[in-house]
Amino acid sequence: MGVETDVIIVGAGPTGLMLAGELRLAGVRALVLERHPQPRPTPKASGLGGRILDVLHYRGLLGRLEAAAEGGYPPPRFPFGGVHLDLTGLADPPMRALSIAQHAVERMLGEHADALGAEIRRGHEVTGLSQDDSTVTADVRGPDGDYRVTARYLVGCDGGRSPIRAMAGIDFPGTTFSEVNRLAQVTIPESVTILPNGDLEIPGNGTVRSGFTRTEHGMFAVAAHGGILYLQSTEDDPADYDSDDPLTMAELGASIRRVLGFDLPLGEPSRLSRYVFQDRQAENYRAGRVFLAGDAAHLFPATGTALNCGLSDTVNLAWKLAAAVQGWAPASLLDTYHTERHYAGARARLQTRAQVALRRGGDPAAEALRDVLTELLTDDPAAHRLGALVGATDLRYPTPETHPLTGTFAPNLTLHTDPDIVTVAELMHTSRPVLLDFADRPELREVAERWPLRVDVFTAKTDNPPADALLIRPDAYIAWAADFAEPAETAASGFHRALSTWFGAPMTH
């Protein structure tokens, strides 16, 4: 059977749609199969934060998301396991968050993928798959009956209960926690007064503290911003809820009453969602020609991480799949997806597991731990370090290269040529690798000439250059850097090695 498309993507959530757009930028055919006939209205994530905002900026997509974001950028204060991570006092906060509903993100990414030529089929469920040395075939049940489609690769972006993961035989070990979390965004009712310190004054029931309130029945969190109350109740609940059943205001109100001991006046909702925390990670993100991304690959036991991590998976994976489809990928390139993104997922699990320990403890020792952490986080270096961990802005992929910049995200430098000025972000809109030569080093440009269609060369000046030269991958991470005044022969040899490692054999000799 012939190949009908290059990559099948199972799941048309934000992760699948982002992957489709990235593949199309790289010139690869992408077919998205989604079992639901229409986008689901159930609210999920309510924002994007950390490194993924930089990635979206580098793709030229952030402005469109900002235009659709009703909440904009709230002050950088984030919940962390029952304490506050307050970055507002930092001159350069290591993370920020854009308040935007997941359905708005999904809609924009879908429009982007569609405009680039991705094919999106809704109401098409993958019921089986098989693979051989050169292709993968999906059995599909569509509105007009069953059929098969064959591709070079298939990526499961089909959520935490991923059928693709099960079909591929990939284990998903971890823990499901007993707490049920209910989140809401509601307008502030007239009867509730927001005090100058952010606390809520409730008629007949006194004051509810802004932030976290822990009771013997659970935990309640609240914050007010822009005329909206952001609420969360957390309690042990033995009921088995279907994740597709929407949360109602009655259920939310009853949960708040159980936790706080009284009714809280609530305005009109703009978001209602319910979820149970899980801490799981696929043992491998790849099984032959089948890959996993997003919730299919990892679930985290705290909010504010899953969507950001899932979108970052796709930016790492897409250019590597494109290289394999186009025939120039080095033999080990696809395996680096698991190496790098499993490591990133483990870093995300590290901070979210720490939040579990902080939030679940109810004895005096746990209270002391939260108090000590709160005190430590008043120090700028501690707050900056934890904020970078939460936002994944400290991520450095494992790399054999010794230069401290390799494996890190490329800074958005302003580049000067005569007469043009451009930024690194603008160069990355096309998702192509680029060599930035800051020191006018002809030996590097001579090496790059052997990869003429794979790497763009840009000679420019920048204020305070971080190195003599940077080789930036399509996902905007640095593959190689030349030390200042590094001998020409040494620099050329290291550059040649890096190009071969990431972009295959030279095209000319």
Which pLDDT tens digit goes with each residue over 440-476? 999 999 999 999 989 999 999 999 999 999 999 999 9
Instruction: Please name which of 275, 298, 278 lies closest in space to residue 171, comparing C-alpha atoms.
Output: 298
Provide the pLDDT confidence category of residue 157 given band limits of 50, 70 and 90. very high
H or E element at residue 44: none
Which pLDDT tens digit goes with each residue over 403-434? 999 999 999 999 998 788 999 999 999 999 99
182's tokens: 């209910």
CATH for 414-503 is 3.40.30.120
443's tokens: 């030996």
> Residue 243: what pLDDT?
66
Provide the pLDDT confidence category of residue 507 given band limits of 50, 70 and 90. confident
452's tokens: 């003429």
Which stretches within 156-262 are classed as H helix?
163-168, 249-260
CATH 3.30.70.2450 fits 177-276, yes or no: yes
Cα 494 to its chain centre, rounded Å, is: 31
Residue 213 Cα distances to 31, 206, 210, 261, 398, angstroms = 47, 14, 8, 12, 40
Cβ 213 vs Cβ 84: under 8 Å: no
Provide the pLDDT confidence category of residue 2 given band limits of 50, 70 and 90. low
Q: Which CATH number fits domain 5-172+282-391: 3.30.420.40, 3.50.50.60, 3.30.200.20, 1.10.260.40?
A: 3.50.50.60
Residue 300 Cα distances to 44, 167, 308, 346, 347, angstroms = 14, 22, 11, 10, 11
> Residue 42: what pLDDT?
65
Q: How many CB atoms lie within 10 A of CB 374?
A: 15
Q: How much of the chain, in percent, has pLDDT values that exceed 90? A: 79
Which pLDDT tens digit goes with each residue over 208-253? 999 888 898 988 999 888 888 989 999 988 777 766 688 999 999 9
- Quick check: bond before 419 cis, omega within 30? yes
Largest CA distance in the chain: 82
Domain ranges of the chain: 5-172+282-391, 177-276, 414-503
pLDDT value at 104 more than 80: yes
H or E element at residue 222: strand 218-225
> Residue 41: what pLDDT?
67
The conformation of residue 70, written as its DSSP 8-state character, comes to S
Cβ 296 vs Cβ 160: under 8 Å: yes
105: exposed, middle or buried (C-beta count within 10 Å: 0-12, 13-18, 19+)?
buried
Torsion of CA 66, 45, 305, 333, to 10 degrees: -80
Provide the pLDDT confidence category of residue 40 given band limits of 50, 70 and 90. confident
Residue 480 Cα distances to 60, 184, 434, angstroms = 24, 45, 11
Cβ 359 vs Cβ 81: under 8 Å: yes
Which pLDDT tens digit goes with each residue over 55-103? 999 999 999 999 998 778 989 999 898 898 999 999 999 999 999 988 8
Average pLDDT of 164-171?
A: 98
The conformation of residue 91, written as its DSSP 8-state character, comes to S
Which pLDDT tens digit goes with each residue over 285-331? 999 999 999 999 999 999 889 999 999 999 999 999 999 999 999 99
